[in-house]
Chain A
Protein backbone atom coordinates (compact mmCIF):
# COMPACT_ATOMS: atom_id res chain seq x y z
CA UNK A 1 0.00 0.00 0.00
CA UNK A 2 2.90 2.25 -0.82
CA UNK A 3 2.23 5.70 -2.13
CA UNK A 4 -1.34 5.95 -0.96
CA UNK A 5 -2.31 9.04 0.92
CA UNK A 6 -4.79 8.92 3.73
CA UNK A 7 -7.23 6.11 4.35
CA UNK A 8 -10.60 5.70 2.67
CA UNK A 9 -11.93 4.50 6.02
CA UNK A 10 -13.98 4.94 8.06
CA UNK A 11 -17.03 4.29 5.91
CA UNK A 12 -19.96 6.22 7.18
CA UNK A 13 -23.58 5.53 6.27
CA UNK A 14 -26.12 8.03 7.44
CA UNK A 15 -29.81 7.24 7.16
CA UNK A 16 -29.24 5.18 4.02
CA UNK A 17 -32.36 3.87 2.35
CA UNK A 18 -32.89 1.92 -0.86
CA UNK A 19 -36.13 1.09 -2.57
CA UNK A 20 -36.90 -0.64 -5.84
CA UNK A 21 -40.22 -0.49 -7.60
CA UNK A 22 -41.66 1.54 -4.74
CA UNK A 23 -40.77 -1.12 -2.17
CA UNK A 24 -38.35 -0.08 0.57
CA UNK A 25 -35.67 -2.78 0.86
CA UNK A 26 -33.20 -0.94 3.08
CA UNK A 27 -34.56 1.48 5.65
CA UNK A 28 -32.78 4.28 7.36
CA UNK A 29 -29.49 2.58 8.19
CA UNK A 30 -26.80 4.62 9.92
CA UNK A 31 -23.52 2.84 10.47
CA UNK A 32 -19.88 3.71 10.86
CA UNK A 33 -17.39 1.02 9.73
CA UNK A 34 -13.91 1.52 11.16
CA UNK A 35 -10.64 0.15 9.85
CA UNK A 36 -9.21 -3.08 11.18
CA UNK A 37 -12.05 -5.16 12.54
CA UNK A 38 -13.95 -8.00 10.87
CA UNK A 39 -17.61 -7.08 10.58
CA UNK A 40 -20.08 -9.90 9.90
CA UNK A 41 -23.46 -8.89 8.56
CA UNK A 42 -26.05 -11.40 9.73
CA UNK A 43 -29.78 -11.69 9.39
CA UNK A 44 -32.55 -13.82 7.94
CA UNK A 45 -33.16 -14.23 4.21
CA UNK A 46 -34.37 -11.04 2.62
CA UNK A 47 -33.03 -8.88 5.44
CA UNK A 48 -31.03 -6.83 2.93
CA UNK A 49 -27.53 -8.11 3.74
CA UNK A 50 -26.35 -8.34 0.12
CA UNK A 51 -28.00 -5.03 -0.72
CA UNK A 52 -26.18 -3.36 2.14
CA UNK A 53 -22.83 -4.65 0.84
CA UNK A 54 -23.60 -3.47 -2.67
CA UNK A 55 -24.61 -0.03 -1.42
CA UNK A 56 -21.38 0.23 0.57
CA UNK A 57 -19.26 -0.96 -2.38
CA UNK A 58 -20.95 1.51 -4.72
CA UNK A 59 -22.59 -1.03 -7.04
CA UNK A 60 -25.95 0.45 -6.05
CA UNK A 61 -26.80 4.05 -5.35
CA UNK A 62 -28.88 4.75 -2.24
CA UNK A 63 -32.29 6.26 -2.85
CA UNK A 64 -32.08 8.02 0.49
CA UNK A 65 -29.40 9.19 2.89
CA UNK A 66 -25.70 9.33 2.10
CA UNK A 67 -22.51 7.30 2.14
CA UNK A 68 -19.22 8.94 2.98
CA UNK A 69 -15.68 7.55 2.74
CA UNK A 70 -12.84 8.87 4.91
CA UNK A 71 -12.73 12.62 4.93
CA UNK A 72 -15.25 12.71 2.11
CA UNK A 73 -12.87 14.43 -0.28
CA UNK A 74 -11.70 11.49 -2.39
CA UNK A 75 -12.58 11.03 -6.06
CA UNK A 76 -14.88 8.12 -6.92
CA UNK A 77 -12.24 6.58 -9.20
CA UNK A 78 -9.66 6.47 -6.40
CA UNK A 79 -12.17 4.95 -3.98
CA UNK A 80 -13.06 2.05 -6.25
CA UNK A 81 -9.43 1.01 -6.65
CA UNK A 82 -8.98 0.67 -2.90
CA UNK A 83 -11.84 -1.72 -2.19
CA UNK A 84 -12.64 -5.18 -3.51
CA UNK A 85 -15.60 -7.50 -3.41
CA UNK A 86 -15.90 -11.28 -3.60
CA UNK A 87 -19.28 -12.59 -4.75
CA UNK A 88 -21.13 -15.77 -3.94
CA UNK A 89 -20.42 -16.95 -7.49
CA UNK A 90 -17.27 -15.39 -8.89
CA UNK A 91 -17.47 -14.12 -12.47
CA UNK A 92 -14.21 -15.12 -14.10
CA UNK A 93 -13.15 -14.12 -17.60
CA UNK A 94 -12.91 -16.78 -20.30
CA UNK A 95 -9.16 -16.98 -20.18
CA UNK A 96 -6.53 -18.64 -18.00
CA UNK A 97 -6.36 -18.21 -14.24
CA UNK A 98 -3.12 -16.31 -14.70
CA UNK A 99 -4.63 -14.02 -17.33
CA UNK A 100 -7.54 -13.24 -15.00
CA UNK A 101 -5.07 -11.86 -12.47
CA UNK A 102 -3.02 -10.06 -15.11
CA UNK A 103 -6.22 -8.41 -16.33
CA UNK A 104 -6.84 -6.83 -12.92
CA UNK A 105 -3.22 -5.77 -12.62
CA UNK A 106 -3.67 -4.02 -15.96
CA UNK A 107 -6.75 -2.23 -14.62
CA UNK A 108 -4.69 -1.19 -11.59
CA UNK A 109 -2.20 0.43 -13.93
CA UNK A 110 0.74 -1.91 -13.35
CA UNK A 111 3.26 -1.82 -16.22
CA UNK A 112 2.90 -4.83 -18.52
CA UNK A 113 6.34 -6.35 -17.85
CA UNK A 114 5.72 -6.59 -14.11
CA UNK A 115 2.29 -8.20 -14.29
CA UNK A 116 3.39 -11.79 -14.94
CA UNK A 117 5.54 -12.12 -11.82
CA UNK A 118 3.01 -10.33 -9.63
CA UNK A 119 0.18 -12.52 -10.89
CA UNK A 120 2.17 -15.71 -10.33
CA UNK A 121 2.98 -14.60 -6.79
CA UNK A 122 -0.69 -14.01 -6.04
CA UNK A 123 -1.66 -17.42 -7.46
CA UNK A 124 1.04 -19.11 -5.39
CA UNK A 125 -0.20 -17.37 -2.28
CA UNK A 126 -3.65 -18.93 -2.77
CA UNK A 127 -2.24 -22.33 -3.73
CA UNK A 128 -3.19 -21.96 -7.39
CA UNK A 129 0.27 -21.90 -8.99
CA UNK A 130 -0.19 -25.32 -10.62
CA UNK A 131 -3.44 -24.18 -12.21
CA UNK A 132 -2.06 -20.90 -13.58
CA UNK A 133 -2.52 -21.82 -17.23
CA UNK A 134 -5.83 -23.65 -16.85
CA UNK A 135 -8.90 -21.88 -18.19
CA UNK A 136 -10.54 -20.17 -15.22
CA UNK A 137 -13.98 -21.42 -16.18
CA UNK A 138 -13.08 -25.11 -15.87
CA UNK A 139 -11.74 -24.80 -12.31
CA UNK A 140 -13.75 -26.30 -9.44
CA UNK A 141 -16.02 -24.07 -7.36
CA UNK A 142 -13.47 -23.85 -4.56
CA UNK A 143 -10.62 -23.09 -6.95
CA UNK A 144 -12.69 -20.42 -8.67
CA UNK A 145 -13.44 -18.75 -5.35
CA UNK A 146 -9.75 -18.84 -4.40
CA UNK A 147 -8.95 -17.29 -7.76
CA UNK A 148 -11.48 -14.55 -7.02
CA UNK A 149 -9.71 -13.99 -3.70
CA UNK A 150 -6.31 -13.88 -5.43
CA UNK A 151 -7.75 -11.34 -7.83
CA UNK A 152 -8.94 -9.24 -4.89
CA UNK A 153 -5.55 -9.70 -3.22
CA UNK A 154 -3.58 -8.02 -6.01
CA UNK A 155 -5.85 -5.00 -5.65
CA UNK A 156 -4.46 -4.55 -2.13
CA UNK A 157 -7.84 -3.37 -0.88
CA UNK A 158 -8.24 -1.39 2.32
CA UNK A 159 -11.66 -2.94 2.65
CA UNK A 160 -12.85 -6.31 1.35
CA UNK A 161 -16.53 -7.09 0.95
CA UNK A 162 -17.54 -10.75 0.81
CA UNK A 163 -21.11 -11.76 -0.05
CA UNK A 164 -21.79 -15.36 1.07
CA UNK A 165 -18.41 -16.43 -0.31
CA UNK A 166 -18.64 -20.05 0.88
CA UNK A 167 -22.34 -20.87 0.57
CA UNK A 168 -21.77 -22.95 -2.59
CA UNK A 169 -18.59 -24.69 -1.35
CA UNK A 170 -17.75 -27.96 0.40
CA UNK A 171 -16.10 -27.90 3.89
CA UNK A 172 -12.52 -28.18 2.58
CA UNK A 173 -12.98 -25.32 0.15
CA UNK A 174 -14.75 -23.31 2.84
CA UNK A 175 -11.76 -23.83 5.13
CA UNK A 176 -9.40 -22.51 2.43
CA UNK A 177 -11.55 -19.42 1.90
CA UNK A 178 -11.70 -18.70 5.65
CA UNK A 179 -7.91 -18.95 5.85
CA UNK A 180 -7.66 -16.51 2.97
CA UNK A 181 -9.99 -14.08 4.73
CA UNK A 182 -7.78 -14.22 7.80
CA UNK A 183 -4.80 -13.45 5.53
CA UNK A 184 -6.55 -10.37 4.20
CA UNK A 185 -7.32 -9.28 7.73
CA UNK A 186 -3.76 -9.98 8.78
CA UNK A 187 -2.49 -7.68 6.05
CA UNK A 188 -4.58 -4.85 7.47
CA UNK A 189 -7.70 -5.01 5.34
CA UNK A 190 -11.10 -4.27 6.81
CA UNK A 191 -13.45 -7.26 6.31
CA UNK A 192 -17.17 -6.83 5.75
CA UNK A 193 -18.90 -10.12 5.06
CA UNK A 194 -22.30 -11.75 4.96
CA UNK A 195 -22.88 -15.42 5.73
CA UNK A 196 -25.63 -17.87 6.56
CA UNK A 197 -23.22 -20.10 8.43
CA UNK A 198 -23.36 -19.19 12.11
CA UNK A 199 -20.34 -21.38 12.88
CA UNK A 200 -18.37 -19.42 10.32
CA UNK A 201 -19.62 -16.16 11.79
CA UNK A 202 -18.41 -17.27 15.24
CA UNK A 203 -14.99 -18.18 13.86
CA UNK A 204 -14.48 -14.93 11.93
CA UNK A 205 -16.43 -12.09 13.52
CA UNK A 206 -15.04 -9.28 15.64
CA UNK A 207 -18.42 -7.61 15.57
CA UNK A 208 -21.86 -8.40 14.22
CA UNK A 209 -24.23 -6.12 12.35
CA UNK A 210 -27.68 -7.70 12.54
CA UNK A 211 -30.31 -6.77 9.95
CA UNK A 212 -33.96 -7.70 9.75
CA UNK A 213 -36.56 -6.45 7.31
CA UNK A 214 -34.11 -4.01 5.75
CA UNK A 215 -33.42 -2.24 9.04
CA UNK A 216 -30.48 -2.32 11.43
CA UNK A 217 -31.55 -4.22 14.55
CA UNK A 218 -28.32 -4.13 16.47
CA UNK A 219 -24.59 -3.82 16.22
CA UNK A 220 -22.74 -5.77 18.88
CA UNK A 221 -19.22 -7.12 19.54
CA UNK A 222 -19.16 -10.78 18.53
CA UNK A 223 -18.35 -12.12 21.99
CA UNK A 224 -21.48 -10.49 23.38
CA UNK A 225 -23.73 -11.14 20.37
CA UNK A 226 -23.32 -14.89 20.38
CA UNK A 227 -23.88 -15.08 24.18
CA UNK A 228 -26.91 -12.87 24.31
CA UNK A 229 -27.94 -10.45 21.62
CA UNK A 230 -29.79 -7.32 22.61
CA UNK A 231 -32.71 -7.53 20.20
CA UNK A 232 -35.53 -10.03 20.34
CA UNK A 233 -35.22 -10.78 16.65
CA UNK A 234 -31.54 -11.62 16.90
CA UNK A 235 -32.28 -13.91 19.86
CA UNK A 236 -34.93 -15.70 17.82
CA UNK A 237 -32.54 -15.89 14.85
CA UNK A 238 -29.81 -17.49 16.93
CA UNK A 239 -32.34 -19.89 18.42
CA UNK A 240 -33.14 -21.06 14.90
CA UNK A 241 -36.63 -19.63 14.80
CA UNK A 242 -38.14 -18.12 11.69
CA UNK A 243 -37.55 -14.41 11.73
CA UNK A 244 -38.89 -11.90 9.29
Chain B
Protein backbone atom coordinates (compact mmCIF):
# COMPACT_ATOMS: atom_id res chain seq x y z
CA UNK B 1 0.00 0.00 0.00
CA UNK B 2 2.84 2.33 0.90
CA UNK B 3 4.64 1.68 -2.40
CA UNK B 4 1.49 2.36 -4.37
CA UNK B 5 0.94 5.67 -2.59
CA UNK B 6 4.58 6.60 -3.22
CA UNK B 7 4.17 5.68 -6.90
CA UNK B 8 1.05 7.81 -7.22
CA UNK B 9 2.66 10.85 -5.69
CA UNK B 10 5.83 10.36 -7.77
CA UNK B 11 3.74 10.07 -10.93
CA UNK B 12 1.81 13.20 -10.01
CA UNK B 13 4.94 15.23 -9.38
CA UNK B 14 6.66 13.97 -12.55
CA UNK B 15 3.65 14.99 -14.62
CA UNK B 16 2.94 18.30 -12.89
CA UNK B 17 6.58 19.41 -13.02
CA UNK B 18 6.84 18.42 -16.71
CA UNK B 19 10.12 16.69 -15.94
CA UNK B 20 12.13 17.09 -19.18
CA UNK B 21 13.62 13.60 -19.04
CA UNK B 22 10.19 12.07 -18.60
CA UNK B 23 8.83 14.23 -21.42
CA UNK B 24 11.65 13.06 -23.72
CA UNK B 25 10.95 9.42 -22.88
CA UNK B 26 7.19 9.85 -23.33
CA UNK B 27 7.55 11.63 -26.66
CA UNK B 28 9.96 8.98 -27.97
CA UNK B 29 7.50 6.26 -26.95
CA UNK B 30 4.67 8.02 -28.76
CA UNK B 31 6.78 8.60 -31.87
CA UNK B 32 8.10 5.05 -32.06
CA UNK B 33 4.82 3.28 -31.28
CA UNK B 34 2.72 5.79 -33.22
CA UNK B 35 5.00 5.56 -36.24
CA UNK B 36 4.98 1.78 -36.08
CA UNK B 37 1.19 1.71 -35.93
CA UNK B 38 0.84 4.10 -38.88
CA UNK B 39 3.24 2.01 -40.97
CA UNK B 40 1.60 -1.25 -39.92
CA UNK B 41 -1.85 0.16 -40.73
CA UNK B 42 -0.72 1.32 -44.18
CA UNK B 43 0.42 -2.22 -44.95
CA UNK B 44 -1.90 -4.27 -42.75
CA UNK B 45 -5.30 -2.79 -43.64
CA UNK B 46 -5.07 -3.43 -47.40
CA UNK B 47 -3.32 -6.73 -46.78
CA UNK B 48 -6.06 -7.96 -44.43
CA UNK B 49 -8.79 -6.76 -46.80
CA UNK B 50 -7.13 -8.46 -49.76
CA UNK B 51 -6.90 -11.71 -47.78
CA UNK B 52 -10.62 -11.48 -47.09
CA UNK B 53 -11.60 -10.76 -50.69
CA UNK B 54 -9.24 -12.73 -52.92
CA UNK B 55 -9.25 -16.50 -52.94
CA UNK B 56 -6.11 -18.38 -53.85
CA UNK B 57 -4.67 -21.79 -53.04
CA UNK B 58 -3.23 -21.84 -49.54
CA UNK B 59 -5.25 -18.89 -48.28
CA UNK B 60 -6.41 -20.84 -45.25
CA UNK B 61 -2.82 -21.55 -44.28
CA UNK B 62 -1.88 -17.89 -44.71
CA UNK B 63 -4.78 -16.84 -42.47
CA UNK B 64 -3.77 -19.34 -39.78
CA UNK B 65 -0.15 -18.16 -39.86
CA UNK B 66 -1.24 -14.53 -39.76
CA UNK B 67 -3.51 -15.15 -36.77
CA UNK B 68 -0.74 -17.05 -35.01
CA UNK B 69 1.65 -14.14 -35.63
CA UNK B 70 -0.57 -11.97 -33.42
CA UNK B 71 1.20 -13.77 -30.61
CA UNK B 72 4.77 -13.24 -31.85
CA UNK B 73 7.06 -12.89 -28.84
CA UNK B 74 8.54 -9.37 -28.88
CA UNK B 75 11.96 -10.67 -27.84
CA UNK B 76 12.10 -12.97 -30.86
CA UNK B 77 11.09 -10.17 -33.21
CA UNK B 78 13.68 -7.93 -31.58
CA UNK B 79 16.34 -10.57 -32.04
CA UNK B 80 15.46 -11.08 -35.71
CA UNK B 81 15.56 -7.34 -36.42
CA UNK B 82 18.81 -7.10 -34.45
CA UNK B 83 20.44 -9.78 -36.62
CA UNK B 84 19.18 -7.96 -39.70
CA UNK B 85 20.51 -4.55 -38.66
CA UNK B 86 23.71 -5.65 -36.92
CA UNK B 87 26.89 -4.47 -38.65
CA UNK B 88 27.60 -8.13 -39.30
CA UNK B 89 24.07 -8.59 -40.71
CA UNK B 90 22.67 -7.98 -44.21
CA UNK B 91 21.48 -4.41 -43.51
CA UNK B 92 24.40 -3.45 -41.28
CA UNK B 93 25.60 -0.81 -43.73
CA UNK B 94 22.56 1.36 -42.97
CA UNK B 95 23.77 1.96 -39.42
CA UNK B 96 20.23 1.72 -38.04
CA UNK B 97 20.92 -0.44 -34.99
CA UNK B 98 20.27 1.30 -31.67
CA UNK B 99 18.19 4.04 -33.30
CA UNK B 100 14.48 4.93 -32.97
CA UNK B 101 14.07 3.85 -36.60
CA UNK B 102 15.15 0.32 -35.69
CA UNK B 103 12.67 0.30 -32.80
CA UNK B 104 9.92 1.45 -35.14
CA UNK B 105 10.77 -1.36 -37.55
CA UNK B 106 10.60 -3.99 -34.82
CA UNK B 107 7.27 -2.70 -33.51
CA UNK B 108 5.87 -2.52 -37.04
CA UNK B 109 6.61 -6.24 -37.40
CA UNK B 110 4.87 -6.89 -34.07
CA UNK B 111 1.81 -4.81 -34.85
CA UNK B 112 1.34 -5.73 -38.50
CA UNK B 113 -0.16 -9.21 -37.88
CA UNK B 114 -2.65 -7.80 -35.37
CA UNK B 115 -3.93 -5.11 -37.71
CA UNK B 116 -3.91 -7.41 -40.75
CA UNK B 117 -5.65 -10.31 -38.99
CA UNK B 118 -8.33 -8.17 -37.35
CA UNK B 119 -9.02 -6.20 -40.51
CA UNK B 120 -9.27 -9.43 -42.48
CA UNK B 121 -12.04 -10.49 -40.11
CA UNK B 122 -13.81 -7.12 -40.27
CA UNK B 123 -13.67 -7.00 -44.07
CA UNK B 124 -14.76 -10.64 -44.42
CA UNK B 125 -17.85 -9.90 -42.31
CA UNK B 126 -18.62 -6.80 -44.35
CA UNK B 127 -18.23 -8.74 -47.57
CA UNK B 128 -20.94 -11.13 -46.37
CA UNK B 129 -23.28 -8.16 -46.20
CA UNK B 130 -22.09 -6.15 -49.20
CA UNK B 131 -20.85 -8.82 -51.57
CA UNK B 132 -23.94 -9.32 -53.72
CA UNK B 133 -24.68 -5.61 -53.97
CA UNK B 134 -21.13 -4.63 -54.90
CA UNK B 135 -20.88 -7.41 -57.47
CA UNK B 136 -24.21 -6.29 -58.89
CA UNK B 137 -22.83 -2.76 -59.21
CA UNK B 138 -19.89 -4.18 -61.10
CA UNK B 139 -17.25 -2.97 -58.62
CA UNK B 140 -13.85 -4.47 -59.44
CA UNK B 141 -12.24 -6.41 -56.55
CA UNK B 142 -9.39 -3.95 -56.24
CA UNK B 143 -11.70 -1.01 -55.60
CA UNK B 144 -13.86 -3.16 -53.29
CA UNK B 145 -10.82 -3.36 -50.98
CA UNK B 146 -10.86 0.39 -50.49
CA UNK B 147 -14.67 0.58 -50.32
CA UNK B 148 -14.89 -1.99 -47.54
CA UNK B 149 -11.95 -0.53 -45.60
CA UNK B 150 -13.72 2.82 -45.64
CA UNK B 151 -17.10 1.37 -44.69
CA UNK B 152 -15.51 -0.69 -41.91
CA UNK B 153 -13.56 2.28 -40.60
CA UNK B 154 -15.10 2.30 -37.13
CA UNK B 155 -14.39 -1.37 -36.49
CA UNK B 156 -10.96 -1.05 -38.07
CA UNK B 157 -10.14 1.79 -35.70
CA UNK B 158 -10.38 -0.75 -32.89
CA UNK B 159 -7.94 -3.01 -34.73
CA UNK B 160 -5.50 -0.11 -35.05
CA UNK B 161 -5.91 0.72 -31.36
CA UNK B 162 -5.20 -2.90 -30.45
CA UNK B 163 -1.99 -2.53 -32.45
CA UNK B 164 -1.11 0.67 -30.61
CA UNK B 165 -1.72 -1.05 -27.29
CA UNK B 166 0.61 -3.87 -28.23
CA UNK B 167 3.33 -1.49 -29.45
CA UNK B 168 3.25 0.88 -26.50
CA UNK B 169 3.24 -1.96 -23.97
CA UNK B 170 6.05 -4.13 -25.33
CA UNK B 171 9.59 -3.93 -23.99
CA UNK B 172 11.39 -6.99 -25.34
CA UNK B 173 11.86 -5.85 -28.92
CA UNK B 174 12.76 -2.20 -28.32
CA UNK B 175 15.18 -3.22 -25.59
CA UNK B 176 17.19 -5.36 -27.99
CA UNK B 177 17.18 -3.21 -31.13
CA UNK B 178 17.17 0.13 -29.31
CA UNK B 179 19.63 -0.72 -26.55
CA UNK B 180 17.83 1.48 -23.99
CA UNK B 181 20.39 4.26 -24.54
CA UNK B 182 19.76 7.17 -22.22
CA UNK B 183 18.37 10.13 -24.16
CA UNK B 184 18.44 8.31 -27.50
CA UNK B 185 16.43 5.10 -27.41
CA UNK B 186 14.97 5.02 -23.92
CA UNK B 187 11.20 4.61 -24.04
CA UNK B 188 8.59 4.36 -21.32
CA UNK B 189 8.78 0.58 -21.16
CA UNK B 190 12.57 0.27 -21.21
CA UNK B 191 12.80 3.00 -18.57
CA UNK B 192 10.32 1.05 -16.43
CA UNK B 193 12.41 -2.11 -16.85
CA UNK B 194 15.56 -0.19 -15.90
CA UNK B 195 14.07 1.41 -12.79
CA UNK B 196 12.73 -1.98 -11.74
CA UNK B 197 16.26 -3.37 -12.10
CA UNK B 198 17.56 -0.60 -9.93
CA UNK B 199 15.01 -1.54 -7.30
CA UNK B 200 13.35 1.87 -7.52
CA UNK B 201 9.90 0.32 -7.59
CA UNK B 202 7.88 3.48 -6.83
CA UNK B 203 9.54 5.34 -9.75
CA UNK B 204 9.03 2.32 -12.05
CA UNK B 205 5.39 2.13 -11.04
CA UNK B 206 4.98 5.89 -11.46
CA UNK B 207 6.30 5.65 -15.03
CA UNK B 208 3.93 2.76 -15.57
CA UNK B 209 1.01 4.87 -14.38
CA UNK B 210 2.02 7.65 -16.78
CA UNK B 211 2.17 5.12 -19.63
CA UNK B 212 -1.29 3.79 -18.78
CA UNK B 213 -2.57 7.37 -18.59
CA UNK B 214 -1.06 8.13 -21.98
CA UNK B 215 -2.59 5.07 -23.63
CA UNK B 216 -5.93 5.93 -22.03
CA UNK B 217 -5.78 9.48 -23.40
CA UNK B 218 -5.00 8.20 -26.91
CA UNK B 219 -7.89 5.72 -26.73
CA UNK B 220 -10.28 8.33 -25.37
CA UNK B 221 -9.37 10.75 -28.15
CA UNK B 222 -9.88 8.12 -30.83
CA UNK B 223 -13.13 7.03 -29.21
CA UNK B 224 -14.53 10.54 -29.20
CA UNK B 225 -13.50 11.19 -32.80
CA UNK B 226 -15.09 7.88 -33.76
CA UNK B 227 -18.32 8.64 -31.91
CA UNK B 228 -18.61 12.05 -33.53
CA UNK B 229 -18.00 10.60 -36.98
CA UNK B 230 -20.41 7.75 -36.31
CA UNK B 231 -23.19 10.11 -35.31
CA UNK B 232 -22.68 11.80 -38.65
CA UNK B 233 -22.65 8.57 -40.65
CA UNK B 234 -25.21 6.34 -39.01
Contact = CB atoms under 8 A, between A and B. Distances in A.
A and B touch in the complex (CB under 8 A): yes
Interface stretch (A7-15, A38-46, A82-90, A194-202): A82-90
A137 interface: yes
B133 A107 contact: no
Nearest to B143: A107
B234 A91 contact: no
B197 interface: no
A107 B138 contact: yes
Contacts of B153: 94
Contacts of B137: 84, 104, 107, 151, 155
A121 B147 CA distance: 24
B233 A91 contact: no
Contacts of B136: 57, 59, 84-85, 87
Interface string B119-147: 00000000001101111111100010001
Give the interface residue-count category, chain B.
Answer: 10 to 19
A103 interface: yes
A30 to B, nearest CB: 24
A91 B130 CA distance: 6
Interface string A94-119: 11000000011001000000000000
A224 interface: no
A236 B51 CA distance: 50
Contacts of B93: none
Nearest to A60: B132
B132 A135 contact: no
Contact of A94 (B139, B143, B233): B233
B233 A135 contact: yes
B90 interface: no
Given A93-B147, A94-B233, A107-B143, A80 B129 contact: no
Contacts of B233: 94-95, 135, 137
Interface string A17-47: 0000000000000000000000000000000
A80 B233 CA distance: 29
B234 A81 contact: no
B138 A81 contact: yes
Interface string A129-157: 00000011110000000000001000100
Nearest to B138: A80
Contacts of A57: 136
Interface string B142-161: 01000100110100000000
A135 B133 CA distance: 18
A90 B133 contact: yes
B128 to A, nearest CB: 11
Interface residues of A, number: 23
A24 B132 CA distance: 22
Contact of B151 (A77, A80, A94): A94
A44 B132 CA distance: 23
B234 A59 contact: no
B183 interface: no
B127 to A, nearest CB: 11
B201 to A, nearest CB: 48
A94 B143 CA distance: 16
Contacts of A107: 137-139, 143
B232 interface: yes
Nearest to B151: A94
A87 B136 CA distance: 10
A87 B138 contact: no
A94 B234 contact: yes
A84 B143 CA distance: 19
A109 B146 CA distance: 17
B147 A103 contact: yes
A139 to B, nearest CB: 8
Interface of A: 54, 57, 59, 77, 80-81, 84-85, 87, 90-91, 93-95, 103-104, 107, 135-138, 151, 155
Given A59-B135, A93-B147, A94-B150, 4 more contacts: A91-B130, A104-B137, A107-B138, A137-B234
28 contacts: A57-B136, A59-B132, A59-B135, A59-B136, A81-B138, A84-B136, A84-B137, A87-B132, A87-B133, A90-B133, A91-B129, A91-B130, A91-B132, A91-B133, A91-B134, A94-B150, A94-B151, A94-B233, A95-B150, A95-B151, A103-B147, A107-B139, A107-B143, A135-B233, A136-B234, A137-B233, A137-B234, A138-B234
Interface of B: 129-130, 132-139, 143, 147, 150-151, 153, 232-234
